[in-house]
Structure 1
């Protein structure tokens, strides 16, 4: 079996992480499979179906979808159509479950020189950019419809990139797509994939509407009478709040954390952090998970430094460098267990975090 932990990083299996009421035991071996049969490149996102199975999305086209039983054993694996597979959402409509899948357009380069990983303009980089798309699928993978480049409906110019990063579905079925690797808009469609509106970008007179690497989005229904959006502006190290019609309502600063969108659990939400901001840069191998309470205050950092507020202001957060490389996708089961996938995690499989009662 592949060694997923380089000599400079200890195997975190069995570690206890977190603070206060949010402490977890790390099972780094939970999702390990035979990489010759079921390989991963990045573990980009995860959801749980009505049977309690964990569906993981990876950009390895030998099996874009790896479906786990709760004990970490393989239920099934399939899919080769999504080279930039990045985000997944599951919804139930009239008793049937559907998957929304976001392909962000960054694809493995068959001309890779074997060395370049961050030379984004090079034709020999490990990944190269094309345009992305979004699909709606049945649970067994049959295509329902596709959402393509917004220039086809007149809201983008042809020279504007579309590389979507995440998707969320509102209670009425409307869907919200963040173009986090493209032109940084949030685009709203109805449940049939018909365009409604868009906002964001980087050049608004009201800077509250600006978004920079709008990587994640979630619909906050913790108060069912006030559903709204939480949208990451990852390069600003913050989350922004919008009403469902796109009007701005607030901001949650997350200093030190390049943060993804929310994953809700009861009155709290969890948000993966891909990098910490250290020495004036987004540092390698510095991810963690932030836990927010009902008032959108950080109450724990799993694998990171404990949150500190001074004068009501959250102080800079960062990793402790001992658990995660780059946290990306995650889901939470009905027992409060967390399943965490990583970007650039040495092709590692998902970790399971079990709460310490």
Structure 2
């Protein structure tokens, strides 16, 4: 097993999500802005509510808020990596309704899928976890399918056990998506950067991607997220995050490369589709001096139906020169630490989950 030093080396190359401290070369930036200010651009502006979550981290401890989904009852379900309560369930006022989960020390990816009128969860443990003494440990990642209240239905097989990976290839998955026929797509974002496709029953179908292809279009570098894009209902496609290259890559449901949308300067997490728009947390952005992976440089980015950036809440306004998007940076007044995921409700409010944000709960952005 590789040691922690090897993993940090990969982090510097691919932006893997580990708790960063100043001893790793990160710099604390500006103090967060006052809540009464409005952030965002164009038609996508928001009031910040950092005290939205009505809970205490003393009673319900948080390490990192990784991802959030809204279920059919309008409840907001958040996955984190603290095994006292991996799952926190909120209503839209921020009231904590429920909490559960002790088996996901590397809780990272959360997908909710309606299956015959019943909400199902796909929970990804990325394999990296931190004990109470601050020591990092790596174990094999897992993907679990559960009911909405956490009853385990099945786990997808580790690709090593079915002959899909070589012994030298890490399996540290970060995200899942469910296709129109129920096929399950797994992004191995902290491992070998493959996309693995399984049947609804968990049977392996194929894999593609990775980062060792001669055709750079096929390479995925830090395959942090995956989502099914239904904006063309007759032709759904996959959007894959290639976070280390500041881009989203589009593939068919069978893994054929289609195109790349580049978001210079923005180390984006998973794509979140809502109506014709696409949202994403930006875990890091480059500094004005050109440095990568600097602590507390995250924001949110929003793209329209033409995959053009229209707003960067917590970041500078998007700028296109001769049709080319210019590097995107955090705003002068910092709002976020590291945007890891967003959830959009029916009123177009945005709930932001943050990684490495001093054990704070999610933030609400109220659409104005």
CA–CA distance in 1 between the matches of 2:163 and 2:34?
49
The offset of 1:231, in angstroms, is 0.6
Among candidates 249, 254, 257, match of residue 263 of structure 2: 254
- Asked whether 1:352 is paired with 2:361, we answer no
Counterparts of 1:271-290 in structure 2, within 5 Å, are 271-278=280-287, 279-290=290-301
- Asked whether 1:314 is paired with 2:325, we answer yes
The offset of 1:280, in angstroms, is 2.9
SS at match of 1:281: coil
Structure 2 unaligned blocks of 5 or more: 1-27
Alpha carbons of structure 1 residues 243 and 148: separation in structure 2 relative to 1, 3 Å:
same
Deviates more, 1:166-175 or 1:16-25: 166-175
The offset of 1:343, in angstroms, is 0.2
Counterparts of 1:235-254 in structure 2, within 5 Å, are 235-254=244-263
CA–CA distance in 1 between the matches of 2:121 and 2:224?
19
Report what 1:203 is aligned to.
Answer: 212
Question: Conserved in 1, the CA contact under 8 Å of 2:121 and 2:147?
Answer: yes
Question: Conserved in 2, the CA contact under 8 Å of 1:32 and 1:349?
Answer: no
Alpha-carbon deviations, 1:181-214, whole Å to 9, x = none? 0000011111111111111111112110111111
SS at match of 2:217: helix
Report what 2:138 is aligned to.
Answer: 129
Question: Conserved in 1, the CA contact under 8 Å of 2:88 and 2:98?
Answer: yes
Counterparts of 1:1-357 in structure 2, within 5 Å, are 9-10=31-32, 12-112=34-134, 126-278=135-287, 279-320=290-331, 321-356=333-368
SS at match of 2:286: strand
Question: Conserved in 2, the CA contact under 8 Å of 1:53 and 1:68?
Answer: yes
Question: Conserved in 2, the CA contact under 8 Å of 1:232 and 1:260?
Answer: yes
SS at match of 2:346: coil
Question: Conserved in 2, the CA contact under 8 Å of 1:132 and 1:148?
Answer: no
CA–CA distance in 1 between the matches of 2:131 and 2:40?
38
Alpha carbons of structure 1 residues 127 and 309: separation in structure 2 relative to 1, 3 Å:
same
SS at match of 1:235: helix
CA–CA distance in 1 between the matches of 2:285 and 2:174?
20
Alpha carbons of structure 1 residues 11 and 295: separation in structure 2 relative to 1, 3 Å:
closer
TM value normalised by structure 2: 0.89
CA–CA distance in 1 between the matches of 2:95 and 2:313?
25
SS at match of 2:244: helix
Alpha carbons of structure 1 residues 7 and 273: separation in structure 2 relative to 1, 3 Å:
closer
CA–CA distance in 2 between the matches of 1:138 and 1:270?
26
Question: Conserved in 1, the CA contact under 8 Å of 2:111 and 2:122?
Answer: yes
Report what 2:23 is aligned to.
Answer: none
CA–CA distance in 2 between the matches of 1:166 and 1:12?
33
Alpha carbons of structure 1 residues 26 and 294: separation in structure 2 relative to 1, 3 Å:
same
Question: Conserved in 2, the CA contact under 8 Å of 1:32 and 1:350?
Answer: no
SS at match of 1:29: coil
The offset of 1:146, in angstroms, is 0.4
Residues matched between the structures, number: 338
SS at match of 1:275: strand
Question: Conserved in 1, the CA contact under 8 Å of 2:241 and 2:247?
Answer: yes
The offset of 1:13, in angstroms, is 2.3
CA–CA distance in 1 between the matches of 2:30 and 2:212?
42
Alpha-carbon deviations, 1:132-170, whole Å to 9, x = none? 010000111111100132011111012211100111111
SS at match of 2:63: coil
CA–CA distance in 1 between the matches of 2:284 and 2:320?
21
CA–CA distance in 2 between the matches of 1:130 and 1:91?
27
Report what 1:122 is aligned to.
Answer: none
